[in-house]
Amino acid sequence: MAEPLHFQIDEYYLDLQKQGQDMDILDAERTRRNPFPGLRPFRTGEAHLFFGREGQAEELIARLMRTHFLGVLGNSGSGKSSLVRAGLIPALHAGKKQDRISDWKIVICRPGNSPIQNLAAALAGANTGSAKANVLAPEAGRMLPLLQESSFGLLETEAEADEHRKTLLIVDQFEELFRFSSEIPPG
């Protein structure tokens, strides 16, 4: 019997699921009153409030097109997540590059205590377009063995999903990978 998947879902996204609302629309409505997100990073739907770093977002796109890999480094609280979520992603959506966004699948993952399971859940969410646990669990459960057993598991899951789309995998809080080892088998 397969082990059940347990992954972290932000309460905000659970509320979205319960209400059946679109995240970007809800973000815009929630920030009408207060344009500052506080200590949390800006979200994609708050791009209209995130300004002053357009040049950095354009540089990220240029590097992404050249190298197909980005490392966004900086001190804690310097705005790395905001730059990616409210700068890079909206710029891709707006077509501020040569390719069109329809050629891209954007996957946002946070490693947490179970990096492989959380990656499977994030990929499942991007593949199904759903945040509903009953939709995510079977898809993530199908991907999990590939991700765990093969060093090419990520490539294999993406080849199965859609070989004609580019995938932008965003690993927020990447440093968590160096703190947790709960999924590494002994020996």
pLDDT of residue 84: 94
C-alpha to C-alpha distance for 31 and 40, rounded to whole angstroms: 13
> Please, what's the b/e burial string for 5-30 (b: 16 or more CB within 10 A of its CB; e: otherwise)?
bebeeeeeeeebeeeeeeeeebbbee
In this prediction, residues 135-157 reach a mean pLDDT of 87
In this prediction, residues 78-89 reach a mean pLDDT of 92
What are the pLDDT digits (tens) for 10-35? 555 555 556 665 555 555 555 556 77
C-alpha to C-alpha distance for 115 and 128, rounded to whole angstroms: 20
Domain-wise residue ranges, the chain? 12-32+41-98, 101-187
Q: How far is CA 171 from CA 2, 12, 90, 112, 174, in A?
A: 26, 19, 17, 10, 6
**pLDDT-wise least confident of 39-43, 82-86, 146-150, 178-182:** 178-182
Q: How confident is the model at residue 8 (pLDDT cuts 50, 70, 90)?
A: very low
pLDDT of residue 80: 92
Q: What is the model's pTM?
A: 0.69
Query: Is a pLDDT exceeding 80 seen at residue 183?
Result: no
pLDDT of residue 1: 45
The two structure tokens encoding residue 155: 């490539």
Query: Is a pLDDT exceeding 70 seen at residue 118?
Result: yes
Query: Is a pLDDT exceeding 70 seen at residue 3?
Result: no
In this prediction, residues 135-148 reach a mean pLDDT of 87
What are the pLDDT digits (tens) for 30-75? 555 677 777 889 998 888 888 888 899 989 988 988 888 888 988 8
In this prediction, residues 127-132 reach a mean pLDDT of 75
Query: E strands within 18-145?
Result: 104-109
pLDDT of residue 99: 53
Residue type, 177: L
What is the overall mean pLDDT for the chain? 77
C-alpha to C-alpha distance for 91 and 88, rounded to whole angstroms: 5
C-alpha to C-alpha distance for 143 and 28, rounded to whole angstroms: 33
